[in-house]
Amino acid sequence: MRFGTESFSRSFKSAWFEKWKWLHYVKDINKALCYTCCSVVERKLIQEEKMRADAVFIRGGFSNWRKATEKFRDHEKSSFHLEAVNKIAALKNTPISALLSDVVAREQNTARVVLQEASKSVRYLARQGLPLRGHDHRDGHFWRMMIDRTESLPEARQWMLRRDNWLSDNIQNELIEQLAHAVQRKLVNGAMVSHYFGLTADGTTDISSSEQFSCHVHYVDSDLCHQSVFLGFYNAPDSKADTLFRCITDMFLRLHLPIEKLQGYCFDGASNMSGRFTGVRARLAEICPGSLFVHCCNHSLDLALQEVARDVTLIADIFNFVQSASNLIRESAKRKSLYQSLFPDGEAVSNIAALCPTRWCVRTRAISRLLQGYVPLLETLRVLQNDKSVRGETRQKISGLLKQAMKGRTVFGLLCCEAMFGPCEAVARSLQGADANVSGAIECILALKERIGALRGERVVETYDESKSVCISSQPEVARRFQGQQNTISFSGNHCVGGFSRQWRIKVET
Q: What is the 3-state secondary structure (H, E, C) of 340-362?
A: HHCCCCCCCCCCCCCCCCCCCCC
pLDDT per residue over 345-392, tens digit each?
878 888 888 887 666 666 888 888 898 888 889 889 999 988 888 888
Higher pLDDT, 34 or 137: 34
Of residues 412 and 359, the one with the higher pLDDT is 412
AA identity, residue 493:
G
Q: What is the mean pLDDT of residues 478-482?
A: 45
- Residue 496 DSSP symbol: P
pLDDT digits (tens, 9 = 90+) for 421-475: 888 888 888 888 777 888 888 999 899 888 888 877 666 656 666 666 666 555 5
- Rounded Cα distance between 476 and 125, Å, is 56
Q: Which residues, other chains included, contact 350 with Cβ-Cβ below 8 Å and sequence gap of 6+?
A: 343, 369, 372, 373
499 phi, psi to nearest 5 deg:
90, -10
* CA-closest candidate to residue 489, choices 477, 497, 498, 499: 497
Looking at residue 100, its pLDDT comes to 57
H-run or E-run covering 504: strand 504-507
Q: Residue 494: its pLDDT value, please?
A: 36
Sequence-distant (6+) residues with CB within 8 A of 318 are 367, 410, 413, 414, 416, 417
**C-alpha pair distances (Å), 310 with each of 125, 419, 455:** 45, 18, 20
Euclidean distance between CA atoms 250 and 366, whole angstroms: 41
Per-residue pLDDT, averaged over 151-172, amounts to: 85
Comparing 257 with 97, the larger pLDDT belongs to 257
Q: pLDDT value at position 117?
A: 92
Burial per residue of 87-98, b for 16 or more beta-carbon CB atoms within 10 angstroms, e otherwise: bbbeeeeeeeee
The one-letter amino acid code at 158 reads Q
Amino acid at 47: Q
Do the bridges between strand 488-491 and strand 504-507 make them parallel or antiparallel, or are there none, so unpaired? antiparallel
pLDDT in the model for residue 450? 87
The number of residues in the chain equals: 510
The answer, yes or no, to whether residue 1 has pLDDT greater than 60, is no
How many CA atoms does the CB half-sphere of 181 hold within 13 Å?
9
Looking at residue 228, its pLDDT comes to 87
Distance, in Å, from the CA atom of 380 to the CA atom of 142, rounded to the nearest integer, reads: 46
Beta-sheet strand order (sheet of 211-220): 226-234, 211-220, 197-205, 262-267, 292-295
CA distance 174 to 122: 10
- The letter for the amino acid at 407 is K
Check whether 505 has a pLDDT greater than 60. no
- Angle among Cα 221, 190, 174 to the nearest 5 degrees reads 150
d(CA 13, CA 100): 20
CA contacts within 13 A on the Cβ side of 292: 7
Please work out, in degrees rounded to the nearest 5, the angle formed at the alpha carbon of residue 391 by the alpha carbons of 385 and 394.
Answer: 60
Strand, helix or coil for residue 211: strand
Report strand pairing: 197-205 vs 262-267.
parallel
Taking alpha carbons only, the member of 236, 249, 378, 361 closest to residue 321 is 378
Mean pLDDT of the chain: 81
- Domains of the chain plus CATH, in order, are 16-100 (no CATH), 110-180 (no CATH), 194-295 (3.30.420), 302-507 (no CATH)
φ, ψ for residue 203 (rounded to 5)? -130, 150
Between strands 262-267 and 292-295, the pairing is parallel
**For residue 424, what are the CA distances in angstroms to 40, 314, 356, 440?**
84, 18, 14, 15
For the segment 208-235, the average pLDDT, to the nearest whole number, is: 87
CB 439, CB 430: distance < 8 Å: no
- Strands (DSSP E) found in 17-113: 23-26, 31-34
Strand pairing report for 23-26 and 226-234 = unpaired
Percent of the chain whose predicted confidence (pLDDT) is above 70:
84
Under the banding of pLDDT at 50, 70 and 90, the label for residue 245 is: very high
Higher per-residue pLDDT: 268 or 51: 268
As a whole number, mean pLDDT of residues 157-162 equals 86
Which amino acid, one-letter code, is at 469?
S
Residue 140 has pLDDT above 50, yes or no: yes
